[in-house]
Amino acid sequence: MKDIIFYFYGYVVFFYSLGLMVSYVILMWLAELGILRSKHSHLSVYPKYIMDNSPYTPGVSIIAPAYNEEKTIVNNVNSLLAQEYPIFEVVIVNDGSRDKTLELLIEHFSLVEVPFAYVEYIHTKPYRRLFKSTRTEYKRLIVVDKENGGTKADAVNAGLNASSYPYFINTDVDCILSKDAISRCIMPFLESEDVIAVSGVMAASNGCRIEKGQIVELRPPHTPCPLFQTLEYMRSFFIGKMGWSTINAMPNVSGGYGMFDKNVVMAAGGYSGDSFAEDMDMLIRMVGYCCDFGRKYRVVQIPANCCWTEVPPTLKVLYRQRVRWGHGLIQTFVCHRRFLFNWKYRQLGMVTLPYVLIFECLAPVIEFFGLLTFLYQALTGVVNWKTAVVIFLGLYAFCISLSLVVLFYDYSLGGSFRKVKSYLWIIGAAILEPFLYHPLIVVFSIKGYCNFLLNKKAVWGEMSRKGFAGSKKKEKSGEREKGGES
């Protein structure tokens, strides 16, 4: 009986792997269609001129929570203020920082507390006060001071309550935006009233040379953890998100960078304050709102680098981040189980969530027990080694091919890096990933699942990062695509 179970499970793993490969082939094809159809990989001069001079250009709020960011907060805020767009504001939410983050903001940007009719459209931890600058060059800057809410979602909600414009960007304060990030992402909204969210490509800033909050030289990371994540991000955006966007079935818009229709977000109840996968949670509720009220919707991925973020530089930081993501993924499915296989919610209910459940949520579990099964069969001498080697080489060749396709897409769209030799580092990561990086991600994800099932409290935590100024800083949110990525 035991041998029959192992034999059957072997076939389950085989056909599961085959289904996963077929799904990636389909996503690659859809991604290519999406890239070919996209009008936003390069912003032409005429639309930019119209946006800069039209009285109808909509305003955009950049909302960035900050928690214990004293080492780099000044450079980070200067970076966000450098957008080349006519109407925008930067809303920094000081989420109960215990260091000198707020004091440095007040000192450097000449902030003063101002009377403000703060209306709590979305419930958050208590609001304290609001600051604005006395200097005209910082007139776009708003700083909201509030009690710590324990999640990024709570801080973003406070930023939404204080924001002024109909569209907003949800980002992290340690992210660096391209100067035309707003201009690129606002275009789909201007072209169609059905668009409710737009995602731009995110890349790892580790390895890049950064001065005064701006990237002056694009370089790949040369240390293992960030290098593997660079490949992971490329695959997620250029294959996963780009493919899903083509059929209007995006699973999430990255918590590190995304633009949203504020009215839809507010109508959907804002971000769930206790969510640890707020990017996926928010998009599910936005789409659910649109379907419940019969509104047409589109979620768009544009194939243009709009944001660079510092990814976890060490295994310890990566572990904490991915455990949190695993916890958040299970939390999301439990909270939104009514959407699963529900035809009322269109692509979300019948395509996206079933795929994420089967091929992303269950993948670590199936892989882990598949490895245990293989080890047992190897020790008992029942493995057909010739067949096993052929299957392994086939899977390995497919993984390498997938990574090469991703690098081709990236390079053909202008490239994350200026030098072709920089891509050799990414190719090296692709060769080693199945042996070194991927098994760790599987274990970390399972740990997150177990934490949720055992009702262990998840926390953002304070994890040291190098920061853009080369000094230690705290990591609060990391990348949740930066969570729930394909």
pLDDT digits 0-9 by tens, 25-75? 999 999 999 998 886 555 666 677 788 888 999 999 999 999 999 988 998
Q: Are 170 and 70 in contact (CB under 8 A)?
A: no
Q: Are 28 and 243 in contact (CB under 8 A)?
A: yes
Joined together, the tokens standing for residue 72 give 């780099």
Joined together, the tokens standing for residue 113 give 């507390």
Instruction: Please list, in sequence order, all residues whose beta carbon lies within 8 angstroms of the beta carbon of residue 300, skipping any fewer than 6 positions away.
Output: 188, 195, 197, 198, 199, 245
Joined together, the tokens standing for residue 133 give 């600058």
Give the model's pLDDT for residue 12: 81
Give the model's pLDDT for residue 273: 80
Give the model's pLDDT for residue 471: 39
Q: Are 66 and 92 in contact (CB under 8 A)?
A: yes
Residue of 438, 436, 457 lying closest to 324 (CA atoms): 457
Q: Are 62 and 83 in contact (CB under 8 A)?
A: yes
CA–CA gap between residue 178 and residue 161 (Å, rounded) = 26
The segments of the chain whose pLDDT lies below 70 read 1-3, 5-7, 39-46, 458-486
Query: What are the Cα distances from residue 216, in Å, to 83, 180, 207, 420, 438?
Result: 16, 15, 11, 17, 31
- The reported pTM is 0.90
Q: Are 280 and 483 in contact (CB under 8 A)?
A: yes
Give the model's pLDDT for residue 255: 87
Task: Look at the block and give the residue holding tokens 């910082």.
Answer: 138
Give the model's pLDDT for residue 174: 85
Give the model's pLDDT for residue 214: 82
Q: Are 277 and 484 in contact (CB under 8 A)?
A: yes
Instruction: Please list, in sequence order, all residues whose beta carbon lies within 8 angstroms of the beta carbon of residue 60, skipping any fewer than 6 positions away.
Output: 85, 87, 88, 89, 165, 167, 168, 169, 182, 186, 259
CA–CA gap between residue 99 and residue 82 (Å, rounded) = 25
